[in-house]
Chains A and B, each alone.
Chain A
Amino acid sequence: MSSDTPLLKVENLSVEFRTENGVVKAVDDVSFEVNEGEPVGIVGESGSGKSVTALTLLQLVPNPPGRVTGGRILLDGVDILSKSQSQMRNIRGNLASMIFQEPMTALNPVFTIANQMVEVIRVHQKVSKREALQIAIRMLDTVNIPTPEKCVKQYPHELSGGMRQRVMIAMALSCNPKLLIADEPTTALDVTVQAQVLKEIHQQQSERNMGMILITHDLGVVAETCKRVIVMYKGKIVEEAETEQLFRNPRHPYTQKLLSSVLSMRD
């Protein structure tokens, strides 16, 4: 894969939702690219379509209300939208992994960390249970969890919010994906923990040279970790630029508004 071809290429993506009040265009003709090893941020308020876009990349949008009405997604050369659900299983967690906002509910409460991580690893790699467990422990160690052998045997509710999110990160990285999609990964965490987890994500991303899409409503998060920023509003992309450029010279009025609210808080 030459560095000319982007890792992820999204072309004219449109996603509709059928609600009681009619059809809502959650994602409206969105196009963007992510290169190998490049961290990209998608910023916008709730309802801007950023999460739906991310879910669509792995065909995770629930089909009764949601429907892809147009566009193409090329992930590492794979035409995502043409794949069936069962074909997607090889891609999810393997080629691209996703981390969600609420670590408390994202993990299954009645199974141990080991159980869940081993399951994911064995879906994508031909290893024995014991080998998978070793991989899991190693991954937990990589994300700086203090006692991985102990942690692995615990249940999700026994861990703190920050630890749970690290576990999710470990799970996401366990099969060496080329693309990491993080949907508001720190929003639900305590403020004190947010910075640490964010640093962890940033470190993993650059060390492994993964492409990353970091979704957030918080411009501060983006400033620290992303090379490029995409701003979304009501399903459309309104601005896209290198991070520094965006902060210094925002062009779209919406971006300007976003920035001004951040700056006023800094005062």
Chain B
Amino acid sequence: METLQYTIRKLIYSIPLLFGVTLIAFTLMVYFGPDLTDSILGKNPTAEQIADVRSELGYDAPFFVRYFMFLKEVVTFDFGSSMSSGEDVRSILARTVPVSFAVALPAFILSNLLGVGLALLAAYHRGGFWDKFVMVFAVVGMSVSYLMIVIAFQIIFSTSYGLNWFPVQGWIDPPPDYPDATFFEIAYYYWYNYWLYVTVPTLASIFVALGYNTRFFRAVIVEELNRDYVRTARAYGIGNGTIMLKHVLKNALIPIATRIIISLPFVIIAGNLLLEKFFGIPGVGLVTYDAITNGDLPVVKAVVTSTAILYVFALILTDIAYKVIDPRITYSK
């Protein structure tokens, strides 16, 4: 019951945030955005035509009217159609979001799992060799540019200068049409191609993210290790392994899980622009990138607003999850 009240309070609190976000998005993209009159009219428009189009696009309307028009689009989630392909923005999103998700998911899971594992290893041996080793590795990971890694991995894995195991770019093509292909054969086809195209991007993502994750996780764990209850556990004969994996981990998971949850919306919908552009993966990122460079406004609007809204909800979710996981907070206030 109390959680429900808390949730409602948080939702209400998020309304100004949503307004703020949409306002900023609107101001930047629409108000200051490109003047679309030319692209619609083409060559040599008459003054009358210009005036018509402008009023149709609402350019003459005052700021807040235009803002409300934008809000209407947001609420109904109808941003119109892409200007380059004419495809309805919603169907574009429906098509590309799953792809981005499929690409981002393995990296997300692995980099967090490995991050926690490495952090535990480092914290357990803090001050010692493994700690330093892991931390150096983490700093290196943090310091390489994403672009560097992507290029390097491409060279190593995908070109003839390296291993040439993986394709340079691309994504799963629809399977060739064998009429008697069994379900398993098709499934295997997808599975095989999925890993064929996803591996190199995933490796690149993990390499970069791991450094940041490990450092943060280790800091959290080490801070827990300095707490009194660890001293108590040791004073009663509990072994170091159990202390790490039972006592410390559960406490450390609270801030760790929070961070993971906060990063989730960007995994789900944003789609890594750089990754997709580079590896030619037809996800949200690539579509957005093309939209940005082509000035394809409806697409950009859709992506920015949906990500922002998702983020706000993710924040609420985090707060609630936080309350549920940590019994102290649930009961004390």
Contacts and interface: CB of A to CB of B under 8 A. Distances in A.
Interface stretch (B33-41, B191-199, B232-240, B286-294): B232-240
A64 interface: yes
A161 B239 CA distance: 27
Contacts of A119: 238
A179 interface: no
A108 B232 CA distance: 9
A111 B328 CA distance: 11
B237 A124 contact: yes
Contact of A110 (B228, B231, B239, B327): B327
Interface string A100-140: 10100111111100000001100110000000000000000
A78 interface: no
A108 B328 CA distance: 11
B247 interface: yes
A209 interface: no
Contacts of B240: 85
Contacts of B237: 88-94, 120, 123-124
A93 B327 contact: no
A155 interface: yes
Given A64-B127, A157-B328, A92 B234 contact: yes
Interface residues of B, number: 22
Given A64-B127, A98-B235, A106 B229 contact: yes
A86 B300 CA distance: 60
B228 A157 contact: no
Nearest to B247: A108
A102 B228 contact: yes
A23 interface: no
Contacts of B239: 86, 89
Contacts of B331: 155, 157-158
**Interface range, A side:** 20 to 34
A92 B228 contact: no
B235 A157 contact: no
B232 A92 contact: no
B236 A120 contact: yes
Interface in A161-202: 168, 171
A108 B235 contact: no
A263 interface: no
B78 interface: no
Given A111-B250, A157-B332, A105 B229 contact: yes
Contacts of B228: 100, 102, 105-106
Contact of A109 (B229, B233, B234): B229
Contacts of B247: 108, 111
Nearest to A85: B240
Contact of B236 (A92, A102, A155): A92
Which A-B residue pairs are the 5 nearest by beta carbons? A93-B236, A105-B228, A89-B237, A92-B237, A108-B229
Interface of B: 127, 227-229, 231-240, 247, 250-251, 326-328, 331-332
